[in-house]
């Protein structure tokens, strides 16, 4: 369904004077803070925008397992291994909640996966960067999941009921993820001089890719204006990015590390940190598929899907037999 609706998902901002009566009534519900539920009437492009965002979000959770899954066998202690295993497993669960939320909009998980594998849907840019060592794994938990939480806490208030409710549960688990990351990272930052050097290097490399997670700056964000009007998004990309910077700088200072770039300065008048924006040409290049790990990530996902075909077939055969047995007994 989304494949046919892709144009609708990019159809621009709706003006009240151009809306039909039904669309105006829908907008009034949104403005009054009501949640929209699966059986409620909704404009096609509200549905398409949600399928795009929820589908992309689900893909991010699933692809996001790869950079960390790669380190489960190499975690430095049994305790860290068990924690990382639980965390990566949670990400698979988050993917499932989100694919289920997309199903309530009439889009199947198989179709979304197919569109991802054909390169017609995106996943978060951050997962196209490598995890080179154990300090990177701490940094992913702390900085990447930390960024995801800032975005997802806001999304708990999104207007679509099933998405909003999925976010409540996901945020609880994400806060464990960020805390375990900070704990692993702190052990490195407060460790030997070599460990501290590794922690600083991980922070420096991941800083700008993490800022990119919030999407392009507001002036270049294609969907923000309409998504904010529909309360699919409740804060803009730049607002959330600022919130993330403001909460993360004191954590970096607590660890005794250098700030990752020279532009970070507290601005008393604004009551926020000033900071440099990432190189947006790098961001758009990663979105086009040219990041350091895009082709590896997609190859891993496509192989996993193809290698799992026998298992999905087995489950379906079992379900068919169980149904036939049940019907015969009735």
The footprint of ligand 3HC (CB under 6 A) covers 52-53, 56-57, 60-61, 64, 91, 94, 122, 124-125, 144-145, 148, 151, 212-216, 221-224, 227, 233, 237, 287
Phi, psi (5° rounding) for residue 93?
A: -60, -40
CB nearer to ligand 3HC: give 91 or 107.
91
Least separation in angstroms between residue 30's CB and ligand 3HC is 16
Question: What residue spans of 156-267 are helical by DSSP H?
Answer: 161-189, 193-212, 224-229, 237-254
46 in Cβ contact with 26 (< 8 Å): yes
Least separation in angstroms between residue 316's CB and ligand 3HC is 29
CB nearer to ligand 3HC: give 5 or 144.
144
CB nearer to ligand 3HC: give 75 or 167.
167
Which tokens is 220 given?
């270049």
Distance CA 87, CA 176 (A): 8
Distance CA 15, CA 24 (A): 10
Least separation in angstroms between residue 252's CB and ligand 3HC is 19
CB nearer to ligand 3HC: give 80 or 233.
233
CB nearer to ligand 3HC: give 85 or 196.
85
52 in Cβ contact with 2 (< 8 Å): yes
CB nearer to ligand 3HC: give 54 or 249.
54
Least separation in angstroms between residue 124's CB and ligand 3HC is 4
CA distances from 219 to 155, 211, 236, 261 (A): 21, 16, 10, 23
CB nearer to ligand 3HC: give 125 or 159.
125
Compute the radius of gyration of the chain from its Cα atoms. 21
Least separation in angstroms between residue 122's CB and ligand 3HC is 4
Picking from 72, 123, 67, 68, the residue whose alpha carbon sits closest to that of residue 99 is 123
273 by DSSP, 3-state: which? strand
Distance CA 33, CA 47 (A): 18
Least separation in angstroms between residue 95's CB and ligand 3HC is 9
Which tokens is 200 given?
């600083």
Q: Is 231 left (phi over 0), alpha (psi -120 to 50) or beta?
A: left
Least separation in angstroms between residue 65's CB and ligand 3HC is 9
CB nearer to ligand 3HC: give 196 or 277.
277
Picking from 129, 174, 153, the residue whose alpha carbon sits closest to that of residue 294 is 129
Least separation in angstroms between residue 171's CB and ligand 3HC is 10
Strand locations in the chain (E): 265-267, 272-274
């Amino acid at each position: 369904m989304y494949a046919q609706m892709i144009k609708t998902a990019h159809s621009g901002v709706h003006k009240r004077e151009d809306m039909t009566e039904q669309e105006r009534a829908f907008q009034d519900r949104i403005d009054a803070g009501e949640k929209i539920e699966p059986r409620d009437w909704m404009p096609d492009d509200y549905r398409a925008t949600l399928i795009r965002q929820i589908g992309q979000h689900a893909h991010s959770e699933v692809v996001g397992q790869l950079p960390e899954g790669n380190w489960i066998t190499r975690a430095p202690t049994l305790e860290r291994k068990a924690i990382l295993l639980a965390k990566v497993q949670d990400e698979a669960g988050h993917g499932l909640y989100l694919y289920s939320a997309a199903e309530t909009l009439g889009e199947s998980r198989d179709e979304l996966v197919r569109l991802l594998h054909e390169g017609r849907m995106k996943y978060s840019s951050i997962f196209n960067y490598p995890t080179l060592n154990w300090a990177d794994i701490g940094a992913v938990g702390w900085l990447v999941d930390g960024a995801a939480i800032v975005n997802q806490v806001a999304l708990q208030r999104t207007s679509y009921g099933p998405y909003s409710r999925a976010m409540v549960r996901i945020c609880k688990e994400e806060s464990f993820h960020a805390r375990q990351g900070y704990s692993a990272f702190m052990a490195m930052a407060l460790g030997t001089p070599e460990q501290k050097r590794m922690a600083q290097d991980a922070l420096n490399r991941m800083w700008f890719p993490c800022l990119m997670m919030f999407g392009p700056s507001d002036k270049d964000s294609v969907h923000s204006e309409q998504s904010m009007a529909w309360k699919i998004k409740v804060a803009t990309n730049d607002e959330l990015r600022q919130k993330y910077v403001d909460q993360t700088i004191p954590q970096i200072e607590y660890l005794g590390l250098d700030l990752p770039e020279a532009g970070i300065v507290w601005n008393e008048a604004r009551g926020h940190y000033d900071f440099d924006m990432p190189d947006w040409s790098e961001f758009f290049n990663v979105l086009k598929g040219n990041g350091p790990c895009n082709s590896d990530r997609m190859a891993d996902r496509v192989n996993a899907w193809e290698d799992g075909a026998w298992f999905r077939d087995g489950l379906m055969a079992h379900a068919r037999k169980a149904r036939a047995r049940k019907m015969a007994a009735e």
